[in-house]
Chains A and B, each alone.
Chain A
Amino acid sequence: MVKEMREKVIALNRKTNGWLLPLLMLPVWVLLYMNLQNIADLIIDDVVGMTAGKHLTETLRFFIFEVPKVMLLLVLIIFGVGIIRSYFSTEKTRKMLQGKSLLTGNVMSALLGIVTPFCSCSAIPLFLGFVEAGIPIGVTFSFLIAAPMVNEVALVLLVGLFGWKVALIYVATGLTIAILSGWLIGKLKMEKYVADWVYNVKANAEGVEEERLSFSDRIQKGFDSVREIVGKIWIYIIIGIAVGAGAHGYVPEDFLGSLLGKENWYGVPLAILMGVPMYSNAAGIIPIVSVLIEKGVSLGTALAFMMSVIALSLPEIIILKKVLKWQLIAAFVGIVAAGIVIVGFIFNYVM
């Protein structure tokens, strides 16, 4: 009986080109999302029967509300972005960037960095592929800076934990740093600081054949990326929110304020110095940043910390050392770090 139903749904889903399943799931999603606070209250107050107002109760309530909220947002957005990404590929992006002038190229490349599928383990082949196609290194750098920094996971976590305003500020400043840093690296004419062997690579210019996808394939890709990304990051999010929920009440407010608050000009550079040796993706760092802000770290300093952890990292620098000479790596790190400092200062003084 159940098996028969299942087969019928699958057949029907195929008939509607894969639209049916996501369409059926959407109302369930909305219903769940609208009632998260009620569900959390129900579990805490009625099922477990804890005393409201107590420390432990409110910590648990925060946790039980926050984890499913962030997870639901992640699933929806990653599904959507997974479908959008299926229209982009590194090969197409490379073709679009070929022959673009410096500033236009930087802007396009940073924007394409958001939607093109990218994994930091592919940074080197991607760099070589771009150089091979004659794309200026400044434009390539805009891509390499924007791709890990501005992505859907960062966006969801920022919206979920800080709201729209901070999320938009992060995206706008992240893109600006990617565009201007790439542009500056291009202006400095640093092509000669790319390892010599790079220019000798004669890559097969034809590249990889384009996969042909139907719309139901694309929906499948949406589901695949949800499974892949959520499967990889859920544990960081739970740990991050647990730390956040724990610190919510137990660490005195303003604990970090004296060191990394607004008044201290050295807060921003200090945050960046701490951030560079650390390596984490957006999923791991954002819940921790939310705790920092709650404990008195100013917004600009926290943003600077977060950007430096995600965009600059020792492991990445070591990987890049294979294809770049140290002068270019130093310029890259220096320029991006300077950009982050400026963003940090602006937010500390404006907001």
Chain B
Amino acid sequence: MDIKVLGTGCAKCKKLEQLTRTAVSELGIEATIEKVEDIYKIMQFGVMNTPALVVDGKVVMSGRLPGDKELKELLS
């Protein structure tokens, strides 16, 4: 699975990356996690609210921090 965390470096964006890493290791799934901070690249996903979560090239959530349960559903 290919996971990207989009965010320019605000506190919430860092938090989302950390939450995602924890969730992935807890779920025990094979995934590459990449933090995208370049605003140019972020825009190409059509996202206007950071942080956002991209799974296999698709934006699944944007503009907020999901709860633990929701995050795991999004990832599995």
Binding site for B on A (CB under 8 A): 89-91, 94, 117, 119, 121-122, 124-126, 128-129, 132, 197, 201-209, 322
Q: How far is the CA of A117 from the CA of B13 in the complex (A)?
A: 16
Q: Are B63 and A117 in contact (CB under 8 A)?
A: yes
Contact pattern, B 44-75, Cβ under 8 Å of A = 1, otherwise 0 = 11111110100000010011000000000000
Instruction: Return chain B residues, CB-CB under 8 Å to A208.
Output: 46-48, 52, 59, 62
Our pick among B44, B46, B50 for the contact of A121 (Cβ within 8 Å) is B50
Known: A117-B49, A119-B10, A128-B39. 13 other contacts (CB 8 A): A90-B48, A94-B48, A122-B50, A125-B43, A125-B48, A132-B43, A197-B40, A201-B43, A202-B44, A203-B46, A206-B46, A207-B47, A208-B47
Q: A94-B48, A121-B50, A122-B49 are in contact. Are A128 and B59 (CB under 8 A)?
A: no
Give the B interface residue count (CB, 8 A).
Answer: 20
Instruction: Return chain A residues, CB-CB under 8 Å to B45.
Output: 203-204
Q: Are B63 and A129 in contact (CB under 8 A)?
A: no
Q: Are A125 and B42 in contact (CB under 8 A)?
A: yes
How many residue-residue contacts, CB under 8 A, span A and B?
A: 67
Instruction: Return chain B residues, CB-CB under 8 Å to A132.
Output: 43
Asked if B21 lies at the interface with its beta carbon under 8 angstroms from chain A, I say no
Least Cβ–Cβ distance between B75 and chain A, in angstroms? 17
Q: How far is the CA of A205 from the CA of B12 in the complex (A)?
A: 25
Instruction: Return chain B residues, CB-CB under 8 Å to A129.
Output: 43, 46-48
Closest B residue, CB atoms, query A120: B10
Most interface-central of A122, A128, A206 (chain B CB within 10 A): A122
Instruction: Return chain B residues, CB-CB under 8 Å to A94.
Output: 48
Q: How far is the CA of A141 from the CA of B40 in the complex (A)?
A: 21
Q: Are A125 and B50 in contact (CB under 8 A)?
A: yes
Most interface-central of A119, A121, A201, A207 (chain B CB within 10 A): A121
Q: A121-B10, A121-B12, A208-B62 are in contact. Are A91 and B48 (CB under 8 A)?
A: yes
Q: Are B46 and A119 in contact (CB under 8 A)?
A: no
What are the nearest 6 A-B pairs in CB distance? A121-B10, A204-B46, A129-B48, A207-B46, A90-B48, A201-B43
Q: Are B8 and A121 in contact (CB under 8 A)?
A: yes
Least Cβ–Cβ distance between A242 and chain B, in angstroms? 25
Q: How far is the CA of A122 from the CA of B48 in the complex (A)?
A: 7
Instruction: Return chain A residues, CB-CB under 8 Å to B44.
Output: 201-204
Q: How far is the CA of A205 from the CA of B10 in the complex (A)?
A: 25
Q: How far is the CA of A208 from the CA of B48 in the complex (A)?
A: 9
Our pick among B12, B39, B59 for the contact of A125 (Cβ within 8 Å) is B39
Q: How far is the CA of A208 from the CA of B58 in the complex (A)?
A: 9
Instruction: Return chain A residues, CB-CB under 8 Å to B10.
Output: 119, 121
Q: How far is the CA of A208 from the CA of B55 in the complex (A)?
A: 13
Instruction: Return chain A residues, CB-CB under 8 Å to B47.
Output: 125, 129, 207-208
Q: How far is the CA of A80 from the CA of B63 in the complex (A)?
A: 19
Least Cβ–Cβ distance between A270 and chain B, in angstroms? 32
